[in-house]
Amino acid sequence: MKVCLLVLGLSLVLTVCVARSPYQAVLQHSRIRGRQQGPNVCAMQQIKGTDKKYFTNCKQWYHRKICGHPTMITYECCPGYEKIPGEKGCPAALPLVNIYNTLGVVGATTTQMYSDRAKLRDEIEGPGSFTFFAPSNEAWAALPTEILDALVSNVNIELLNALHYHMVNRRLTSEELRHGSSFASMYQDFHVHIHHYSNGIVTVNCARLIKPDQHATNGIVHVVDRVITAISNNVHTLIDVDDDLETLRTAIAAAGLTNILESEGQYTIFAPTNEAFEKIPPETLNRILGDPIALKDLLNYHILKNMQCAESIVSGTPMETLQGTVLEVGCEGDQMTLNGKAIITKKDQLGTNGVIHYINELLIPDSAKTLLELADGSTVATATKLFVDAGLSSHLTGSEPLTMLSPLNEAFKGSLTMTPDMRRLMTNHILKEQLSSKSLYHGQELETLGGLKLRVFVYRNNLCIENACIAAHDKMGRYATMFTVDKVLAPPMGTVMDVLKADDRFSLLVGVIQTAGMTELLNQQGALTFFAPTNDAFNAMPKPEFSRLMRNPQELSAVLKYHLGEGMLVSGGVSGSHTRVKPLQGEKLELGVRNQTVYVNRIPVADADLMATNGVVHAMNSIIKPLLKVDREQADGPAAPLRSAASSRLDSRSFRDDDLFQKVLKSRSSRTMNLSR
């Protein structure tokens, strides 16, 4: 057993040592997946309906998708091996022959034919040590006819130059083709540019190596999926000479980005065409073009910090831009996508310091937008319309530092007619400074355009402004920020006592409070959470019991204080797991959430978040009673319909020796419950 473990350990170490580069790691995975088919067999993933094949990594193996399209598994000889009739797998190493003959062995017969025609055969059959990036037969067939004709018509000198550009005068394995490296080709020392991606894909001038590391006696052949052309200009020069990018060229100059695009580096530029700029409303475009900061953010949002050839993308991946945020760069079949949209019209225009992909839509980052633009097309369309109808457009499109609290569409109920009250409410959804939710702290006060002060509550699971909790990431605009919140804001309207007096559902409670002598407590400054019994709650009590309580202010006060929690807790601060609140008198209250309803000691809250200047009121249609021990285990939902006699016994240790609870709990059980200290 120990020997087996030692052998296994050594094999893992050898695997790690061999699989040094990303390509080698993927190749090793393909060998492991193919070993049941015999020695030196590699599993490949082929996109259904195409000839495109990839060595398979773990993610692709389990997802069975590349660029959103399903794949099928094929098994082929790993590089350098071949089949023997009658034997399993690929047990034979390919015989080493010169590069010319190797082109035939690996199926690059068109490159072999053109090598003959260009008088290159003697060179690649003779002495030396070359690397040949050989276009596949399909790569030559994909060349436009006029380009191919130009290559083969000029006494073959153009064809020879083209083939020499595919060659490096030294042997380079995939291990040596490092990301970002370049090598002088055999055509006037023009460089070929290598990119070796973390998913195992290797490209030369954005052409993918589809059969790497085909060894020969005088070098090595890497079969590539396209014919590559010489590169001599940087990306700025490419933009400078293309009439389709005239507006982009002007914008780059105005933003002062020319030097960056002329400097050394490895950039990816998603270049908006003139058509892309024309699709933007003129007022928006003119505003951005006239604002150097917004314009620079806009352009930097189109530039990735690293170089991504189209062939390197096999699934959606977030990539950081020079602007600091990310773009989701992906693919759908043969199309490259940005943020899920197939807006790329031309790919892989290569420069010495990067690659350009043309796009027909302008990408506007949040940092270049007004509040109105931040809200456009989002999940807060109802709120946006109300802001506009309330006459607040100048604030939403101006340069004031503001923060807009935008409730989700589903937060609005009933009639949305624009009334003076509604106008005032929407005005109080805009704060007088630009904020980030990360800078908010518990107890902070924020002033609205309407002059109200709103409080910030920080909970373990949520960040809330009054009753409204933040439901999405901030959208930080050019001057202002948008917070998406889950509820329509309920600004505090007087003290807790004022809230109760203004609501007919609490008319009995108001009298009870006065009888208990607690009016001053509910009017004074502080932070209370009142689980306030409604008229229905009191009406559900046996009348003799209610009458007896009303005759005993001390017991009445104790009942009410069991419904009063210390500190402010809005419904958004109650987590799915147990949340506990210390009442002013009695054992802790157990809170939980189920199906978006808050429960207190397993009793549902009928109406949450009635905000007051000194607390918050949650309407309860039942009197809250202390939980039994068995109830405490599942305090975040409704009570079970049936309970055994044993489970109904009161755990005497759970509660204080309080005559009040003896009397209140009589309605819960027909038996007398004796409480001990």
Reported as a single tens digit per residue, the pLDDT across 344-360 is 999 999 999 999 999 99
| C-alpha distances out from residue 645 to 356, 481, 617, 630, 649, Å | 76, 57, 35, 12, 7
CA Rg value for the chain: 36
The band of 57, judged by pLDDT with boundaries at 50, 70 and 90, is confident
d(CA 570, CA 615): 9
The least confident of 9-13, 126-130, 210-214, 490-494 is: 9-13
CA–CA dist 310, 294 (Å, integer): 28
Q: Which of 221-230, 367-376, 403-412, 637-646 has the lowest mean pLDDT?
A: 637-646
Q: How far is the CA of 400 from the CAs of 395, 431, 478, 481, in angstroms?
A: 7, 11, 10, 11
Mean pLDDT of 623-649: 54
The pLDDT value given to residue 670: 34
Which residue type occupies 370?
Answer: T
pLDDT band at 656 (very low <50, low <70, confident <90, very high): very low
Q: In what order do the strands lie in the sheet with 65-66?
A: 53-55, 41-47, 69-77, 65-66
Do 509 and 549 touch, CB atoms closer than 8 A? no
Helix (H) or strand (E) holding 195: strand 191-196
Confidence class of residue 310 from pLDDT cuts 50, 70 and 90?
A: very high
* Res. 6: pLDDT tops 50: no
pLDDT tier at 667, thresholds 50, 70, 90: very low
pLDDT tens-place string over residues 508-543: 999 999 999 999 999 999 999 999 999 999 999 999
Amino acid 636: pLDDT: 54
Question: CA–CA separation, 369 vs 290, rounded Å?
Answer: 13
- Compute the distance between CA of residue 185 and CA of residue 167 in angstroms, rounded to an integer: 6
* pLDDT tens sequence across 63-110: 899 999 999 999 999 999 999 999 999 999 999 999 999 999 999 999
In this model, does residue 676 exceed pLDDT 80?
no
Residues 639-644 have a mean pLDDT of 38
Task: Answer yes or no: is pLDDT of 505 > 50.
Answer: yes
pLDDT at 34: 95
Beta strands in 273-400, from DSSP E residues, in sequence order: 303-304, 317-320, 326-332, 335-338, 344-351, 354-359
Separation in Å, CA 35 to CA 64, 78, 90, 347:
19, 11, 10, 37
Q: What pLDDT shows up at residue 524?
A: 94
- State mean pLDDT over 470-479: 94
Output the pLDDT for position 110.
Answer: 97
Q: What integer pLDDT is reported at residue 2 of this predicted model?
A: 41
pLDDT at residue 659, as a whole number: 42
Q: Is the pLDDT of residue 58 over 90?
A: no
What is the rounded distance in angstroms from the CA atom of residue 228 to the CA atom of residue 25? Answer: 26
Q: What's the average model confidence in pLDDT over 607-617?
A: 96
Tell me what pLDDT residue 173 has.
96
Say yes or no to pLDDT of 196 above 50.
yes
pLDDT tens digits along 571-594 = 999 987 678 999 999 989 999 999
Residue 177 neighbours by CB under 8 Å, 6+ apart: 194, 196, 202, 204, 209, 222
Question: What is the longest distance spanned by two Cα atoms in the chain?
Answer: 116
Average pLDDT over residues 179-190: 95
What is the rounded distance in angstroms from the CA atom of residue 639 to the CA atom of residue 636? 9
Burial per residue of 258-275, b for 16 or more beta-carbon CB atoms within 10 angstroms, e otherwise: eebbeeebbbbbbbbbee
Place of tokens 């456009």: 376
Q: Over the chain, what is the mean pLDDT?
A: 88
Lowest mean pLDDT among 296-310, 432-446, 565-579: 565-579
- Rounded CA gap, 478 and 480, in Å? 6
Residue 649 — pLDDT band, cuts 50, 70, 90? very low
Report pLDDT for 671: 31
Task: Kindly report which listed range (323-332, 375-384, 528-537) carries the lowest average pLDDT score.
Answer: 375-384
Q: What pLDDT does 154 receive? A: 65
Who contacts 534 (Cβ-Cβ below 8 Å, separation ≥6)? 505, 506, 508, 509, 606, 619, 620, 621
**How does pLDDT run across 33-55, given as a tens digit for each residue?**
999 999 999 999 999 999 999 99
- What local confidence, expressed as pLDDT, does residue 1 receive? 41
